[in-house]
Amino acid sequence: MPNTIGIYIHWPFCRSKCPYCDFYSSAQKCNNEDELIEQYCQDLEYYHSLSDNDQVRSIFFGGGTPSLIKPQNIEKLIDTVTSLWSCSPQIEVSLEANPNSNHPHMFQDLKIAGINRLSLGIQALNDADLKFLGRTHKLSEALHAIEEVTTFFNNHSIDLIYARPNQKIENWQQELKQAVSFGLKHISLYQLTIEENTVFAKKGIKALEENAAAEMYTFTQEYLNTHGYPQYEISNFGQPCLHNCGYWQGEDYIGVGAGAHGRIHIDNKIFATTHPRQLEELTSQERAEELIIMGLRILEGINKKHFSEQCGLNFDSFVNLEKLHTLASQNLIINTTEKIRPTTKGLLVLNKIIEDLCC
């Protein structure tokens, strides 16, 4: 069986920079799109020369705001991937879009270009919080975009941000119920954190109090799990995104574009890749740590045999066993001879779990 990989294409341009965002992105307009797309195609050809026997099971356009790319250039990138690699018959081709990214027929054109999974960056379902979060769309535009996306696509998702400053639990409950009513296949929900060097950090914006945020998260888990959106990852509910699952399960992926990262196997060694075409071999210890960081995000957890195959180290020999047993006794993880996985309670303190295991 061929090794399956994902292709991540990063478009770093946005109409504006959101005040909470610490991703690699720029509010400057791209004035040389066609030239840049050609460079992306050349980068794909380079990575194909290192991984020509692999099979692509997903392509993901992220950013930034990749829905700003002209549809014909999105189609060109997809065609480049499918012409270079063998691709899964059920290949997932995702793109992140904003409700007001480009032109009136954007979603229809994206479908024609080859996108079959559309993720909308909604972030809030009221105009006041949309303005606070620096979003350039109104609620009316978001609702119209959701209607169009569910019309043109069979696989769709929205992003929402909760634990906004001064947000009340009852207001979040109402937004979540409204989100469920849209009939989407997937919902991603992210707690607002104030990251260094963001506009929010520079303005002294404070995150919502920890206990209030935890209450919102617990309600979210309970409500979505009983309303058709089973949780499969710390922030994701519903029909799993194949591409992101590849990250969490430690599969290879190729990253193209400024700000993109990748992980690829070459001659039984694992390399981290960065733009432009930089490769750095990871040690077994480095690989083991990132497998734990990523693998414990998903509810199915880490298969210990698979872990050993991926990094060459025995799981129980690598982690801090004393703290592992303590975490299990506290019902933060479930540890068996075959796998380790977080409990619902453990997801609330996942960073602590990872730190304890890897120290």
Average pLDDT over residues 235-248: 98
CA distances from 241 to 212, 283, 305, 334, 351 (A): 29, 29, 24, 24, 23
DSSP H/E element including 289: helix 284-295
Residue % of the chain over a pLDDT of 90: 92
The per-residue pLDDT for 209 is 95
Burial class (CB in 10 A: 0-12, 13-18, 19+), 223: middle
**Weakest-pLDDT range from 24-28, 77-81, 146-150, 173-177:** 24-28
Cα distance between residue 107 and residue 41, in whole Å = 23
Q: Check: CB of residue 63 under 8 Å from CB of residue 6.
A: no
Entry pTM? 0.96
Asked if residue 76 has pLDDT above 70, the reply is: yes
Q: Taking Cα atoms as reference points, which of 308, 289, 299 lies closest to residue 334? A: 299
Provide the mean pLDDT of the chain. Answer: 95
Side chain identity at residue 333, one-letter code = I
The per-residue pLDDT for 23 is 84
Cα distance between residue 38 and residue 44, in whole Å = 10
> Which residues, in sequence order, are bridge partners of residue 4?
55
Q: Taking Cα atoms as reference points, which of 293, 347, 274, 258 lies closest to residue 63? A: 258
pLDDT tier at 102, thresholds 50, 70, 90: low
* 229-258 as b/e: b if 16+ CB within 10 A: bebbbbbbbbbbbbbbbbbbbbbbbbbbbb
pLDDT tier at 26, thresholds 50, 70, 90: confident
How many Cβ atoms sit within 10 Å of the Cβ of residue 281? 11
How many Cβ atoms sit within 10 Å of the Cβ of residue 352? 13
The per-residue pLDDT for 290 is 97
CA distances from 143 to 20, 150, 158, 271 (A): 23, 11, 11, 42
The CATH fold of domain 284-359: Arc Repressor Mutant, subunit A (1.10.10)
Asked if residue 156 has pLDDT above 90, the reply is: yes
pLDDT tier at 101, thresholds 50, 70, 90: low
Average pLDDT over residues 262-275: 95
> Which residues, in sequence order, are bridge partners of residue 231?
237
Cα distance between residue 164 and residue 209, in whole Å = 10
Asked if residue 305 has pLDDT above 80, the reply is: yes
Long-range Cβ contacts of 303-311 (<8 Å, 24+ apart): 303/338, 303/339, 304/337, 304/338, 304/339, 304/340, 305/338, 306/250, 307/250, 310/250, 310/270, 311/270, 311/284, 311/287
Using CA atoms of 220, 221, 225, 229 in order, give the dihedral in degrees to the nearest 10: 60
Measured over the CA atoms of residue 80, residue 85, residue 86 and residue 89, the dihedral's sign is: negative
The per-residue pLDDT for 338 is 97
Q: Taking Cα atoms as reference points, which of 56, 52, 65, 60 lies closest to residue 21? A: 65
The per-residue pLDDT for 103 is 76
Asked if residue 282 has pLDDT above 80, the reply is: yes
Residues in the chain: 359
Written as six digits, the tokens of 156 are 């769709």
Homologous superfamily assigned to 4-244: Aldolase class I (3.20.20.70)
Q: Where are the domains of the chain?
A: 4-244, 284-359
pLDDT digits (tens, 9 = 90+) for 172-214: 999 999 999 999 999 999 999 999 999 999 999 998 999 999 9
Average pLDDT over residues 301-318: 97
pLDDT tier at 25, thresholds 50, 70, 90: confident
Asked if residue 15 has pLDDT above 80, the reply is: yes
